[in-house]
Structure 1
Amino acid sequence: MQSRTTQVVIVGGGPSGLLLSQLLHKAGIDTVVLERQSRDYVLSRIRAGVLEHGFVELMRRAGAGARMDRDGEVHHGFHIAHQGQLDRINLAASAPGQTVMVYGQTEVTRDLYAARDAMGGQIIHEAVNVALHDLMTGHPYVTYVLHGEKCRIDTNFIVGADGFHGVSRKSIPADILQEYEKVYPFGWLGVLSETPPAAAELIYARHERGFALCSMRNARLSRYYIQVPLTDRVEDWSDDAFWSELKRRLPDQIGQKMQTGPSIEKSIAPLRSFVAEPMRYGTLFLAGDAAHIVPPTGAKGLNLAASDIHYLYEGLADHFLRGDDAGLDSYSEKALARVWKAERFSWWMTGLLHRFPDMSPADLRLQQAGLDYLFSSDAAQASLAENYVGLPY
Structure 2
Amino acid sequence: MRTAVGIIGGGPAGLLLARLLHRTGIDCVVLEARTREDVEQRQRAGMLEQGTVDALREAGAAERLDAEGLVHQGIELRFERERHHIDFPALTGGRTVTIYAQTEIVKDLVALQLAEGPPLLWEAQALAVEKPESASPVVRFLHEGREQTLICDWVIGCDGFHGISRGTFPAAGSHTYERDHPYSWLGILADVAPSCDELIYARGQSGFALHSMRSIHVSRLYLQVPGGTDADDWPDDRIWDELDARFAVDADWTLHRGPITAKSVTPMRSYVHEPMRHGRLVLAGDAAHIVPPTGAKGLNLAVSDVRVLARTFAELHRTGSERLLDDYSRTCLARVWQATRFSYDMTRMLHAQPDGDVFENRLQLARLRRIASSRHAAAELATNYTGLPLLT
TM band (smaller chain):
over 0.9
Mapping of residues 1-393 of structure 1, within 5 Å: 4-252=1-249, 257-393=254-390
Deviation for aligned residue 1:44: 1.3
TM superposition score normalised by structure 2: 0.98
- The more displaced of 126-135 and 247-256 is 247-256
- Would you say the 8 A contact 1:86–1:251 is kept in 2? no
CA deviations on 1:308-333 (whole Å, 9 max, x unpaired) are 00111111111112212111000000
Structure 2: gaps of 5 or more residues: none
Distance 1:335 1:84 in 2: 39
Amino acid at match of 2:21: L
Distance 1:255 1:350 in 2: 28
Deviation for aligned residue 1:251: 2.1
- Would you say the 8 A contact 2:312–2:325 is kept in 1? yes
Distance 2:74 2:117 in 1: 39
Deviation for aligned residue 1:257: 2.0
- Report the secondary structure of 1:334's partner residue: helix
- Would you say the 8 A contact 2:83–2:249 is kept in 1? no
Q: 1:59 to 1:296 in 2, by over 3 A?
A: same
Distance 1:379 1:254 in 2: 27
Distance 1:383 1:165 in 2: 33
- Report the secondary structure of 1:156's partner residue: strand
- Would you say the 8 A contact 1:198–1:254 is kept in 2? no
- Would you say the 8 A contact 1:81–1:206 is kept in 2? yes
Amino acid at match of 1:65: A
Deviation for aligned residue 1:143: 1.1
CA deviations on 1:56-101 (whole Å, 9 max, x unpaired) are 0000000000110000011111100000011010001111121101
- Report the secondary structure of 2:368's partner residue: helix
Deviation for aligned residue 1:252: 4.0
CA deviations on 1:131-187 (whole Å, 9 max, x unpaired) are 101000111111111121111111100000000000000111122221110000000
- Report the secondary structure of 2:295's partner residue: coil
- Report the secondary structure of 1:110's partner residue: helix
- Report the secondary structure of 1:115's partner residue: helix
- Would you say the 8 A contact 1:247–1:256 is kept in 2? no
Amino acid at match of 1:212: A
- Report the secondary structure of 1:155's partner residue: strand
Deviation for aligned residue 1:231: 3.2
Distance 1:89 1:82 in 2: 14
CA deviations on 1:103-135 (whole Å, 9 max, x unpaired) are 000001111111212212211111125210100
Distance 2:217 2:109 in 1: 23
Q: 1:96 to 1:145 in 2, by over 3 A?
A: same
Distance 2:9 2:250 in 1: 44
Amino acid at match of 1:359: G
Amino acid at match of 2:255: M
- Would you say the 8 A contact 2:31–2:126 is kept in 1? no
- Would you say the 8 A contact 1:248–1:255 is kept in 2? no
Distance 2:115 2:323 in 1: 32
Deviation for aligned residue 1:304: 0.4
TM superposition score normalised by structure 1: 0.97
- Would you say the 8 A contact 1:191–1:224 is kept in 2? yes
Structure 1: gaps of 5 or more residues: none
Distance 2:4 2:249 in 1: 57
- Report the secondary structure of 1:211's partner residue: strand
